[in-house]
Structure 1
Amino acid sequence: MGTDTVRARATDEVAERRREQHGWYFYDWACSVYSTSVLTVFLGPYLTSVAKHAADADGFVHPLGIPIRAGSFFAYSVSASVILSIFVMPMAGAAADRTGRKKPLLAASAYLGAAATTGMFFLDGDRYLLGGLLLVVANASVAVSMVLYNSYLPQIAPPEERDAVSSRGWAFGYAAGSLVLIGNLVLFTAHDSFGVSESTAVRICLASAGIWWGAFTLVPLKRLRDRRTTPGGGRAPAHGWRQLAATVRDMRGKPLTLSFLLAYLVYNDGIQTVISQASVYGSEELGLSQSTLIVAVLLVQVLAVGGALGMGRLARTYGAKRTILGSLVAWTVTLAAGYLLPAGAPVWFFVLAAGIGLVLGGSQALSRSLFSHLVPSGKEAEYFSAYEMSDRGMSWLGPLLFGLTYQLTGSYRDAIISLVAFFVIGFALLARVPVRQAIRDAGNPVPDRI
């Protein structure tokens, strides 16, 4: 084979890889709007208000006959969605690896979540149970879809590109969140001019996130390609816990990969809880308006784009592990500052939002790319199902702790400061993981800087 032919083939492979990477970015662009507009901004305060409208004289609602303080219903619903995810994510990951058909599974989970999100338009009056059900379905769906989405990373990016590719994916997501939030802000603040009530404006914002999610999912479905990497495509996946147990048993041969997952499970639980509960804290404890919360989250999104790309550059100099450890220190300081924020002071809440934005994208993007080095070839989706357990599937302890703390104390300040433990413990666990040895144990080449 001639030199020109080899060079042309290499050029074609690079072009095809770039095309897949660009398509891959667009799933972050598609689904991040759900995380931003729905989970972070609108649904928490709105579902809490719906639950309070349905509450009894003592402020309790009674789903399935269980007395729950209305202010805790959203947090408990998030925990329930995560527990459901535990059962479905391992099955999806195993099925994807065994059949090599990730795209149909990605499409099914994405469009189920998009449909549930669009259905939130009908959440009004005292329909708090409908809101909880749609939240559970949408949250579990996005978790499953992210298992499949993340598992493409080792296949579309060589080791030296993964930090940059992962960071760009997060940056795309935050850019989409910013763009949609601007539209949300215009609609919400000028709802009278559009001839709709404030409640209707919120429901339109919720439903539009589902439409956005479904529409832009078409791009990765067109550009990504399936690969069969392991034999045995006809075998059916085990169910829920059995499949998770099988994956963990396989991982026992990679104890350092398990150690990283444990650390990530802990500190990311704190991150996910801050994301999902920040708006409730701002509205209920600090007395901030919905418009203020939208602007604050918009600030987070804008700064998270630069933060993700900036921390990606820091990782090239200091390594992903050290950069993540630095971000956990920043998270701890940010939460402590949040506990001390005065009520009714939006400027200080904006300062806090800026701090969150600068570390949010980078800490998540670098964790994803670091884990991709610890995955044995051919088991990407299965291992990333365990990763997604740590990312979303096991992130029920934080919301549960947040909800219980508020239930017992009636103070959202106590609830928010309780989350510091996740970052402190996560830092200690991650610091003990020798990542270079973990990469070698997984059978992968060790990058020069990690």
Structure 2
Amino acid sequence: MQTKNDKKTIRSWAFFDWANSAYNLVITSTIFPAYYTTITSDKDDSTIDYVYFFGYKIVNSALYSYAMAFAFLVIALLSPILSSIADTRGNKKIFMKMFTYIGAVACGTLFFFEINAEKGVDTLNFSIIMFVLAAIGFWGSLVFYNSYLPEIATVEKQDDVSAKGYMYGYIGSIILQIICFVFVFKPEWFGIVDASIPARLSFLLVGIWWIGFAQIPFKNLPKGSPDYKAEKKNIMTSGFQELNKVWKQVKQMKYLKRFLFAFFFYSMGVQTVMLIAALFGEKILHLPTSKLIATILILQLVAIPGAMLMSYLSSKKFGNVNVLIGVVTIWIGCCIAAYYIDTELQFYALAAVIGLIMGGIQSLSRSTYSKFLPQHSPDHTSFFSFYDVTEKVALVFGMFSFGYIEVLSGSMRNSVIALALFFVLGLVFLLLLKKVQPKAVVVD
């Protein structure tokens, strides 16, 4: 039986965030979107940038949004199957490893992403597929990573442990980001003359970093809490049966159910904003790559104290639901502000605010959900699979609607306003949760 609150186990668990958050920063937030936009642009601000994906003509940023939405859809379909197997056989760590290796190797192959008419090179089709696989690897591994939280920490420690994971993630990703910066901004130090090499080398480094540091949690985390039964089941259907079983339990837990509705709607906004921030800065404000990367790096730095602050306020002052209400309200204001910004300084100020609340809302959402769960249930992975499926389906809607509204209206600004509406719906459900039981998730 695994002892909870063991410092070595918690540190090892947090190092998984250290390992994989490099993907989240370099691939989804900074270098990759900036590089993607640059090589798929015609360099004319008065025209719309199109690419050809397997023969289909599509707006470059819309393809990016649709690719991410597809990755989230795959995860939403796969995670119930895999998590139920992990719960019944107690081998969730195997699936953490599998998704980690898929994601990290896919990141590494993005080194070959290049569009160069002079050299006759165009690997867009292959690279978008690898981009999708990298996303599947990252988000798929988090299903099993998150489910360890109630197994390694008691209820009163889960806010702090969850925040510690995000803190490790931000620190680790920033370190690798700085290393990548050296190649991106000073390629001459290494005799690099091909302008595409520094960004592509960063993608390779992410894969190596991800696999390397993931060995720490792989070595020290328990393999899972087994509840194995020998009867034969159809693995393609048993996962969804397990998800249906969890949903039936959730329907009997009215506070958890209302929280999940709130989480579904505000997650449409949170993750979509994080995934398109760099594209927005480049396409709407025409900021250079160096300034975009520096801005998002600062955003990551601000997110560290943000996650710690939210943990403190929820555990010691106001309770989880009240803090989430305040944070979601700030997110609504950020979306409205994004619609109107026109200057570089305004973009930096908005990024600073988003950074402060970004890590906090993710960390607090995870620990709030964990606190609502039956703490001694053997089905933690299935419960967290349900949580992750909720988030991924939300992201499918969020990313697809963002891309579709941009194509329909011709402007990302209108897509941002749609995100504000998602946050409003999330806020409504949080307020309903507060009225029912404002201290539902506060530890006595």
Tell me if both proteins adopt one fold, taking TM over 0.5 as the criterion.
Answer: yes
Shift of 1:129: 1.4
The reply on whether 1:285 has 2:284 as its aligned counterpart is: yes
Shift of 1:86: 1.3
Deviation digits for residues 186-213 of structure 1 (CA, Å, limit 9, x no counterpart): 2211123322233111111122111111
The 2-side partners of 1:438 and 1:249 are apart by 24
Equivalent residues of 1:389, 1:395 under 8 A apart: no
Deviation digits for residues 306-342 of structure 1 (CA, Å, limit 9, x no counterpart): 1101111111211111111111111111222222221
Shift of 1:247: 3.5
Q: What is the match of residue 198 of structure 1?
A: 195
The 2-side partners of 1:248 and 1:438 are apart by 23
Alignment of structure 1 residues 49-64 onto 2, 5 Å: 49-52=38-41, 59-64=49-54
SS at match of 1:287: coil
Q: What is the match of residue 85 of structure 2?
A: 95
The reply on whether 1:335 has 2:335 as its aligned counterpart is: yes
Q: Which moved more, 1:253-262 or 1:146-155?
A: 253-262
Q: What is the match of residue 182 of structure 1?
A: 178
Q: What is the match of residue 382 of structure 2?
A: 382
**Which of 158, 162, 169 lines up with 1:162 in the alignment?**
158
The reply on whether 1:140 has 2:139 as its aligned counterpart is: no
Q: Which runs of 4+ in 1 moved over 3 A?
A: 48-53, 57-67, 233-247, 434-440
Residues 235 and 153 of structure 1: CA distance in aligned 2, closer, same or farther (over 3 Å): farther
The 2-side partners of 1:438 and 1:320 are apart by 9
Q: What is the match of residue 3 of structure 1?
A: none
Alignment of structure 1 residues 2-401 onto 2, 5 Å: 13=3, 17-52=6-41, 59-125=49-115, 126-196=122-192, 197-232=194-229, 235-236=232-233, 237-239=235-237, 243-316=242-315, 317-343=317-343, 345=344, 347-376=345-374, 377-401=377-401
Sequence identity percentage = 29
Unmatched tracts of structure 1, length 5 or more: 1-11
SS at match of 2:407: helix
Shift of 1:71: 2.9
Unmatched tracts of structure 2, length 5 or more: 116-121
Deviation digits for residues 134-161 of structure 1 (CA, Å, limit 9, x no counterpart): 1211111211110100000001000110
Deviation digits for residues 281-313 of structure 1 (CA, Å, limit 9, x no counterpart): 011111001111111111111111111011111
Tell me the C-alpha RMSD between the 2 structures: 2.5
SS at match of 1:68: strand
TM-score norm. by structure 1 comes to: 0.89
SS at match of 1:432: helix
Deviation digits for residues 15-72 of structure 1 (CA, Å, limit 9, x no counterpart): x72211111000111111101110111222323444447xxx9854443554422231
The 2-side partners of 1:260 and 1:88 are apart by 23
The 2-side partners of 1:390 and 1:110 are apart by 21
Equivalent residues of 1:181, 1:294 under 8 A apart: no
Residues 253 and 238 of structure 1: CA distance in aligned 2, closer, same or farther (over 3 Å): farther
SS at match of 2:395: coil
The 1-side partners of 2:275 and 2:94 are apart by 29
The 1-side partners of 2:327 and 2:427 are apart by 9
Q: How many residues align?
A: 428
SS at match of 1:217: helix
Deviation digits for residues 96-151 of structure 1 (CA, Å, limit 9, x no counterpart): 11111111111111111111111110111232212210121111121111010000
Shift of 1:394: 3.3
Residues 132 and 247 of structure 1: CA distance in aligned 2, closer, same or farther (over 3 Å): farther
Q: Which moved more, 1:246-255 or 1:316-325?
A: 246-255
SS at match of 1:40: coil
Equivalent residues of 1:23, 1:220 under 8 A apart: yes
Q: Which moved more, 1:176-185 or 1:420-429?
A: 176-185
Equivalent residues of 2:149, 2:158 under 8 A apart: yes
Equivalent residues of 2:99, 2:141 under 8 A apart: yes
* 1:202 alignment partner AA: A
